[in-house]
Structure 1
Amino acid sequence: MTTLDATQKTVLVHEILNQHYGIQEIYARLDPMHELIATVLSHRTTHANEVAAFRRMRERFGSWEAIRDAPVDELIDAIQTANYPEVKAPYIQQILTRIIAERGEANIDFLRDMSTEDALAWLTALPGVGPKTSTLLLLFNFRKPVLPVDTHVHRVTQRLGIIGPKVSPEKAHAILLAYLPQDALVLYNFHKHFYWHGQRVCTWSYPKCHQCVLREYCDYYAERQKR
C-alpha cells in the first residue's frame, strides 16, 4: 500500500471518488428554515421517516408560529415517525422561539451575509443544533466552506486511516477541513461522495471491500488482508 501523509491521502482518495461518482453541483433540497428543522428531525432516523414527520407536522399546525405554540405532546405526536420525538419536539419549539424572538420571523436567510465563523457560532448556540446540522445547512443552503461529517463520512475516513480510531465525528470536522481546499464546491463533493460510498460500499456491516475503488489506500482493507 502506498505510504502517504494524511493530507496527501485525503486529496488522492477525494479525487478518486470524484472520478467514480462525478462532480455534483451544490443543491439545496429545501429553503433554509425548512432545512434547519428537517435536519433536527433527521437525527438517528431514516430520510423517509424524517420527511413523513415534517409533512405531518406542517399539515397539522400550518405555520412555524403554530408549531412553536403547540402543546408539546401534540407536536410529539405529529413527529412520532422520527426517532426520539420527545427530545426533538422541545428542541424544535425552542429553536423557533429563539429565532422568531430575535429576528421577528421564522427566517434565517440573514446567515448568508454572515462570516462562516459567525454563522456557525450562531447556529450551534441554538438548542439541539450541533456541528453536523449547522455545517449541512451552511454548505447546502449558503455555500459556506464547511464540511459536514455524518456517520458515513466518519466511518469511511476512519477506515482509510485519514482520521484516528478515537476521533469523534465532532472533532473530525476540523481535522478533515484542514486537509482540503476551503472551497464550498470541493467540500460539497467530498461530503456527498463519502456519504454515498459509506451507504453503498463501505457499509457498517459487511463492507464490500472487493468493490471499493479506494482499497489500495485503505488501512482497514490492509488489515483484513493480513487475517
Structure 2
Amino acid sequence: MQLPLGTDPRSDVLRRLQTDLIAAFGRIIRPPDKRRSPEWVLVHGVIGAQTKTAASNASTDGLLEKYGSWEAVAKVPVEQLEALLQRQTFPRVAAQRLSDCLNAIIAARGRVDLRQLSNLETADAIAWLETLPGVARKNAAGVMNASTFNRKAIVIDGHHRRIMQRMGVVPATADTAKTYDTLMPILPQEWSAEDMDEHHLLLKKLGQTHCRPRRPDCAQCPARADCRTAKG
C-alpha cells in the first residue's frame, strides 16, 4: 500500500537534507527567465549525455541560431549534425539521437511542438516523452520540471542517484527510473516544482564536491548526519 505523498519517514530526511545543503551551498534557484521552452530542454537532454551543462547549452543554442527552427534541424543530415556537435562527449551518438527524436515528434505531431503535453497529467506526459528515441526518465522529467512547464517532477542524474543510494533513501541497485519512482511519493508534500528543481541542483552540487563517485569526503559532507554510508 502506497503512503500518501510526503508521509514516509524518509520525507523528513529529504527535508533535513534540503536545509543542510542550502546552509552549505546557499540557494540554487533557477530564475524564471532561465526557464527555456520544453522543446529546447528536450534537445538539450538528448544531446547532453556525459557532457558539461555549459557545452550542451552552447550546442543547443547554436543549432537553433543556425537553422532557425527544430523542424529545420530535423532535416539536417546526421553527418552535418555530428560536425556541429563536437562540444558533446559523444557527437555521433548525439547527432543520431537528435535526428531520430525530432523526426519522431514531427511524425507524431506534424512539427516539433510539445505544447500538447500541458494537457496531460505529469506522469502521462513523461510516459509519452519516454516513447521518443533517446529520451529516458532524466530527460523526460527535466522537460516537465526545468522548462516553462514547471511541473512537479524530480530530475535524477548520476550524482542524485548515487547520493540517494548511499544515504539509504533508495535501494542500492536502483536505476534512474526506480530512483524517480521511489522518490516521487516521498517528496515533502509542501515542496513546489521550484523546490524540486533546487533539490536536484543542490544534490548535483553535493555530488561534485563531497559525495564523489570515488573517495567521497564523508567527514566534511553536509549530508553526513542522515547518511547510512557516512555512519559506516
* TM-score normalised to structure 2 length: 0.83
The match for 2:87 among 81, 85, 94 is 81
- Matched with 1:192 is 201
The secondary structure found in structure 2 opposite 1:202 is: coil
Give runs of aligned pairs for residues 104-119 of structure 1, distance below 5 A. Answer: 104-119=110-125
Q: How far is 1:175 from its partner? A: 0.6
The secondary structure found in structure 2 opposite 1:222 is: coil
Q: How many residues align?
A: 220
Give runs of aligned pairs for residues 124-163 of structure 1, distance below 5 A. Answer: 124-141=130-147, 142-163=149-170
Question: Unmatched 5+ residue regions in structure 1?
Answer: none
Give runs of aligned pairs for residues 21-170 of structure 1, distance below 5 A. Answer: 21-22=26-27, 24=29, 27=32, 28-141=34-147, 142-170=149-177
Q: How far is 1:177 from its partner? A: 1.3
- Matched with 1:215 is 224
Asked if 2 retains the 8 angstrom alpha-carbon contact of 1:26 and 1:140, the reply is no
Question: Unmatched 5+ residue regions in structure 2?
Answer: 1-7
Distance 1:188 1:72 in 2: 33
Q: Aligned letter for 1:219?
A: R
1:13 counterpart = 2:17: yes
Distance 1:171 1:155 in 2: 12
Distance 1:36 1:23 in 2: 22
* TM-score normalised to structure 1 length: 0.85
Asked if 1 retains the 8 angstrom alpha-carbon contact of 2:165 and 2:172, the reply is yes
Could you say which structure has the higher helix fraction?
Answer: 1
- The verdict on how the C-alpha distance between 1:185 and 1:53 changes in structure 2, with shifts beyond 3 A counting, is closer
Distance 1:174 1:49 in 2: 29
Asked if 1 retains the 8 angstrom alpha-carbon contact of 2:70 and 2:102, the reply is yes
- The verdict on how the C-alpha distance between 1:199 and 1:98 changes in structure 2, with shifts beyond 3 A counting, is same
Distance 1:22 1:65 in 2: 37
The secondary structure found in structure 2 opposite 1:119 is: helix
Asked if 2 retains the 8 angstrom alpha-carbon contact of 1:18 and 1:189, the reply is no
Q: How far is 1:125 from its partner? A: 0.9
1:29-84 Cα offsets, whole Å, 9 max, x none, are 42221111011111111123323433443454443222111121111111122122
Alpha-carbon RMSD across the aligned residues, in angstroms, is 2.4
